[in-house]
Amino acid sequence: MRIGLVCPYAFDVPGGVQFHVRDLAEHFTAQGHEVGVLAPVDDPVGDLPAYVTSSGRAVPVRYNGSVARLTFGPVTSSRVSRWLEEGEFDVLHLHEPVTPSASLMALWASSEPVVATFHTANLRSRAMHAANPLLRPSTEKIRARIAVSEEARSTVVRHLGGDAYIIPNGVDTGRFTPSGETTRFSGTAERPVLAFLGRIDEPRKGLSVLTDAMPAILDAVPGVRLVVAGPGDVDEIRGALDPRVRAATEFLGAVSEADKVDLLRSADVYVAPHTGGESFGIVLVEAMAAGAPVLASDLCAFTAVLGDGPDGPAGATFANGDSPALSQAVVELLRTPDERSRLRDLGLRRARSFDWDVVAERVMAVYETVIDGADRAPLDPIQRPGLLSRLRWPARGES
């Protein structure tokens, strides 16, 4: 099968959507499919995988509590059209198709069967609500919608209408399998390790909730270490900390995949204090796959990832934004090794349901359903004229 994947965000900048597209492309390529990816890039002379085509240089735009790196305009339009014409894809899979970047332009230009994955959870998005009348003619071209979580599905239903399959983000869980080896991040019974991953200067990632909880945690467990991995202005964050918290905290900055794996494998507790804007929680899956007991804020997206099986959720939670509740939960977990061991076992089992072998099979089932439906449909009267003439998909009964 010839599969075209479009990512709206700069492919060479780390991010959940980018990793999702990358891993899906590599999984399907390993299965023998022909996969092409179109995406913006930040560094036009940087190394990109052979399957990636640049849609243009990315520019930063503030969006949903973060900074998205997007591309739009005549250059992108030309590259999108050329990529589609040369690709001759059996199916076109767009990620975040209403984000004003390569995905939306590919939607406008497409004549292949279109599958769209929605990653964002933002029920109060005024922009999506206002743009709906303009977007609806184009979104009618989408033959199947996928949402990565119930929150993302609710966003689709509220702002765009229709419904979506819920297929979560995937993780190559085998990369995180605990090895039992000691790493430079490993702690001891007297010096246990708390781990945090995320942009340290994005308030919604909740690092301040965790650092505000640290004095009480240090009162109860004086030797505890907090290891923080993620990009951002370390000097500014470190300078604002209580001196005792600063001494107990190690900032790694942006880390390699190998160091991320080692940190998660070494954590006595992985803490996810995010305060909002999350549609999934892929770092929770990675932490569980690495054998780290998870403690997360009680965001709906996070509780969905942790699940609630016969033996309970695969991680502990605390009230969103509540630093005293966070400190109490951390101390309880550090003082009860048996509970950490129980959560570790539940997490390892839970993580397997998010492995790419499982997730990609479900995505492929959507592709096959869409292609089968397209094969049975009447011939599409739209050929491949200019981009603007493709903005509107014919309504039922039109010719």
Predicted confidence (pLDDT) per residue in 138-156, tens digit: 778 899 999 999 888 988 8
* Cβ neighbours around 48 below 10 Å, total: 16
Per-position b or e across 200-233, b if 16+ CB within 10 A of its CB: bebeebbbbbbbbbbebbbeebeebbbbbbbebe
Same domain flag for 49 and 156: yes
In a domain, 395, yes or no: no
Confidence of residue 208 (pLDDT cuts 50, 70, 90): very high
Q: Which domain holds residue 67?
A: 2-170+355-390
Confidence of residue 382 (pLDDT cuts 50, 70, 90): very low
Same domain flag for 311 and 375: no
In a domain, 163, yes or no: yes
In a domain, 396, yes or no: no
Nearest to 5 by CA among 29, 32, 39, 33: 39
Task: Report how far residue 84's alpha carbon sits from residue 69's, in angstroms, rounded to the nearest whole number.
Answer: 22
Structure tokens at 286: 């990675």
Structure tokens at 101: 């970047």
Task: Report how far residue 311's alpha carbon sits from residue 76's, in angstroms, rounded to the nearest whole number.
Answer: 50
312 DSSP assignment? B
In a domain, 383, yes or no: yes
Task: Report how far residue 340's alpha carbon sits from residue 102's, in angstroms, rounded to the nearest whole number.
Answer: 44
In a domain, 161, yes or no: yes
Same domain flag for 288 and 161: no
Same domain flag for 79 and 165: yes
In a domain, 320, yes or no: yes
Confirm if 71 and 40 have CB atoms less than 8 A apart.
Answer: yes
Confirm if 94 and 106 have CB atoms less than 8 A apart.
Answer: yes
Same domain flag for 271 and 337: yes
Q: How large is the greatest C-alpha to C-alpha distance in the chain, in angstroms?
A: 74
Task: Report how far residue 38's alpha carbon sits from residue 200's, in angstroms, rounded to the nearest whole number.
Answer: 29
Same domain flag for 104 and 161: yes
Task: Report how far residue 8's alpha carbon sits from residue 102's, in angstroms, rounded to the nearest whole number.
Answer: 5
In a domain, 75, yes or no: yes
Q: What percent of the chain is modeled with pLDDT above 90?
A: 69
Among 225-229, 261-265, 369-373, the least confident range? 369-373
Same domain flag for 230 and 342: yes
- Tell the residue number behind the tokens 């603007």, with chain if given: 388
Which pLDDT value is given to residue 135?
64
Alpha helices, DSSP H, located in the chain:
16-30, 74-87, 102-109, 126-139, 150-160, 207-220, 234-239, 243-248, 257-266, 282-289, 300-306, 323-335, 337-351, 356-376
Of residues 162 and 57, the one with the higher pLDDT is 57
In a domain, 20, yes or no: yes
CATH number, domain containing residue 193: 3.40.50.2000
Over residues 187-194, the mean pLDDT reads: 96
Structure tokens at 213: 């909880």
| Prediction pTM value | 0.82
Q: Based on the structure, what is the number of domains in the chain? A: 2
Same domain flag for 258 and 383: no
Same domain flag for 366 and 337: no
Same domain flag for 337 and 380: no
Same domain flag for 87 and 166: yes
Predicted confidence (pLDDT) per residue in 34-47, tens digit: 999 999 998 776 78
Same domain flag for 92 and 213: no
